Amino acid sequence: MSLATNPRRYVISFIFIAVASIMLLRLFFLQNFEPKYKILANDIAIYKKVVYPPRGVIIDRKGKTLLSNTPIYDLMITPRNVPKTLDTAELCAALDIDIPTYEAILGRVLVRNLDVRQSPFMDLLNEEQTARFQENAYKFPGFELVERNIRVYEKPIAGLVLGYIGEVSPEMLKKPRYQSYRQGDYTGLSGLELQYEEVLRGQRGVHYLERDKFNRPRDPYRNGELDSMEVSGRQLDLYLDMELQEYAEKLMANKIGSVVAIDPRTGGILTMVSSPTFDPNLLRGKERARNYSTLYREPTRPLFNRATQAMYPPGSTIKPFTGLVALNEGAITPNYGYPCGGSYGGCSRRIACEHHDAGHAANFRAALAHSCNSYFCHTFRLMVDYRKYASVKDGLQAWHDYYLSFAYGRQTGVDIPFEGKGLVPDTALYNKMYRGSWNSCTIVFVGMGQGELLLTPLQMANGMCIIANKGYYYTPHFVRAIGKNEKDTLLRKYQQKHVVLNIPDSTFTIVQQAMQDVVDHGTAAAARIDSVTVCAKTGTAENKAIVNGEVIKMQNHSMFVAFAPRENPRIAIAVAIENAGFGATWAAPIAALLMEKYLKDSISAKRKPVEEKMLKANLINKYVYTIDSVNRLRDLRIYNAKVERKRIADSTGRAQDSILYNRWIRHHLRPRSSK
């Protein structure tokens, strides 16, 4: 048969011959010319040393170190290289463990990894263990010391912001992000450590060393020409101010809540506190797992970042935005007034107001300065019922779109993980809640910052940036530069200006003037700072808890938002203190102290008594512990019920599979009757 009559046969034969030739040539090349594979084949004589580089250092806005490294050793084992004649008693003595512990660790290693793979045997040896092992290392073939760098927090602050590292888990290794990791590697698990893992991690190196007659690694193999050098992680420069962070955490001690301060000019976060806080050094070293468990069980939830994840009714702190939207839409004018006599009765139910004196809501500025509930409830209704909209549903949707542009009801995009969205109610939500039958009176509480509206403290602080900047903001973020480079591509999204819906500067000016009135002769007198024009708004958010299915009225949350100076804003701040009462009593003084500390670098003598009061106050309500206990029992019951349902489903599935299998066997393998 010729090529012309059957070309396919010859083509296929040629392909097989070509592929086989390439594979043979490659094997020949690997065997004779590739030094690394020679090393693997000759592993007894050559030691492959993996070198882990130090993670990137993190510094604050003034160049002070927040997070650095210190060297320590892990003990690694390659089980196949451990001889049966190993003196386990001497090894255990060097490591200060007993033989049953040695056998248990070895068993876990063999179960988790193959016996040919180097695996962690003991992490983070102390100085004594390291010294004793190094003295007798030649007696323990199969065991190697690997130097690592563990994190050192220079001060016990900003634990939730900085985050912590830990060993990569088997589940994580299955994810694309961790394809280059192996068992025993460390990775960021929270905060900036997780968000910027690829930046901070660096690149591990591999050094090949020749062994001496005692099996100890000595000189570089082939003068190190096969080595791959480690690359240190890059440094992160933050906007965070270490001194301000430390001061804020002291002010928030023995309180449940959070503080967020941002530079409106850049979106850089100056301080972020979630209280109660914890010493981040607890989450490093051998005791990390135990300490994490202890912190997790703490009723005050120190591992929960209230600044980015807790969602609060903003209370009266939302009133500047209620007015801003209504002013821009033309639903009210700056001179619009409302005759409040101590309550709002426009919806056939009484909504209390803290003021009843005549003229306290004569215009927008006066109403905001006195935080008149009636004025802003009615203003919200005027907005959503405005004649330019076909229905209240269209009006609410327009209001909802404004709030989305303010980064409410969605993640701001801050550069730490697990941020919450908050909640801005829309037409779909109310249609679901009220089966499509609702009006502006149904949702009137939203105008005064209650009802279904929920914001995170980060969103509230970012909202102050918008008013301070008269209509724009930068995505809040911590990192100013990566490896001294402020133009790093990872930072571009944080340097883009976000302009909110077309609102003229004149409208923002009116709101700023009103917020200045709040401080100069309104509810936020506690926020006055000498020679600084402060714009602010106090808030007292109603707080309810559900215990055993019953709604319990709790002490109100103390809320406060501000920015300063008005003429050239340098700081925007939000403070939320749970179960503390009026915003003017607690949140406002704490915010004022922090603004003064940042703007003037010190606290004036006349404010020292206020500072002392804030530092000593203990505002943690005893009901927090009761509610936490009840909620944990509820969660445990839900979890157990879920596990039981899964067990029943699995059992039922196995039974059904068995029935189907038996039917198949009977049908296909039953004896055939003979004819």
pTM given for the model: 0.86
The confidence score (pLDDT) of residue 210 equals 81
Give the whole-angstrom CA distance, residue 393 versus residue 428. Answer: 9
Return the ∠ at Cα 462 (arms to 569 and 406), rounded to 5°: 115
The answer to whether residues 74 and 146 touch, using CB atoms and an 8 Å cutoff, is yes
- Is the pLDDT reported for residue 115 higher than 80? no
The span from the CA of 626 to the CA of 634, in Å, is 12
Question: What is the model's pLDDT at position 575?
Answer: 98
CA–CA distance, 350 with 152 (Å, rounded to integer): 57
pLDDT at 519 over 50: yes
Q: What is the per-residue pLDDT for 1?
A: 52
Q: How would residue 634 be classed by pLDDT, with cut points 50, 70 and 90?
A: confident
Cα torsion angle, 536, 542, 547, 552, sign = positive
Residue 122 has pLDDT above 60, yes or no: yes
Alpha helix locations (H) across 392-504? 392-405, 427-434, 457-468
Instruction: Find the mean pLDDT for residues 197-223.
Output: 81
Cβ 66 vs Cβ 60: under 8 Å: yes
CB atoms within 10 A of CB 513: 16
Q: Given this model, what pLDDT does residue 624 score?
A: 82
pLDDT score, position 675: 45
What 3-state class would DSSP assign to 163? Answer: coil
Selection from 199, 243, 204, 205 nearest residue 226 by Cα: 205
> For residue 355, what are the CA distances in angstroms to 115, 149, 508?
77, 60, 26
* Range with lowest mean pLDDT among 275-279, 308-312, 648-652: 648-652
For the ranges 516-530, 611-625, 636-650, which has the lowest average pLDDT? 636-650
Phi (first) and psi of residue 485, to 5 degrees: -105, 110
Query: Of all residues in the chain, what percent carry a pLDDT higher than 70?
Result: 92
Please name the helix (run of DSSP H) or strand (run of DSSP E) that holds residue 8, with its range, or none: helix 7-33
